[in-house]
Amino acid sequence: MDPGLTDLRAADHLLRRLAAQLALPDDTFGCTHLLRDGRPRVVLSLTTSAEGCRERLAAQGYEATDGAPDAVGRAVLFPGADGLTGTLTVAELLSRSAIDRVSVLGAGGSPDPETPLVTRDHVRPQWQRGELVLTAMPAAGGRLTPFEVPDPTPCCADH
């Protein structure tokens, strides 16, 4: 769907609102995709087992087309997403959600499964070669935190 959005926060909110309004099941994947084809914008993709989703979206004024716009969507809705709050170990994050693996910026290999990950209640993995991967970065005390922050400072906010 191309709802004409230009920022990720609005796209995240729209995906969550649609999931609630349409009563989408827990197996739903909802992703954002950045398009830069002359008119930069954020488009959405939904993969769900819900019957009649396309028709219900159309009734709300959204035109849904087949297929994802690219293979690297940023997942907002995914199985287990709502349970990824507070601090979890990497092993807990992987066992509680559809995330396939965690990669750490600047590090090779996978982090120790017992490494604490401070979610900040904002976990946005991305599809990479058919796997849902959360990119994390080192944090104080040997912990990790998702690379994407919940409330990023807008560019040029200080002037």
pLDDT tens column, 133-152: 999 999 999 999 999 988 65
**At 89, is the secondary structure helix, strand, or coil?**
strand
Alpha-carbon Rg for the chain, nearest whole angstrom, is: 16
Count CA atoms closer than 13 A to 147's CA, side-chain side.
13
Mean pLDDT value of segment 22-31: 95
pLDDT at 14: 96
pLDDT at 152: 59
Q: Is the pLDDT of residue 55 over 70?
A: yes
pLDDT at 71: 81
Cβ neighbour number for residue 6 with a 10 Å cutoff = 10
155 vs 78, higher pLDDT: 78
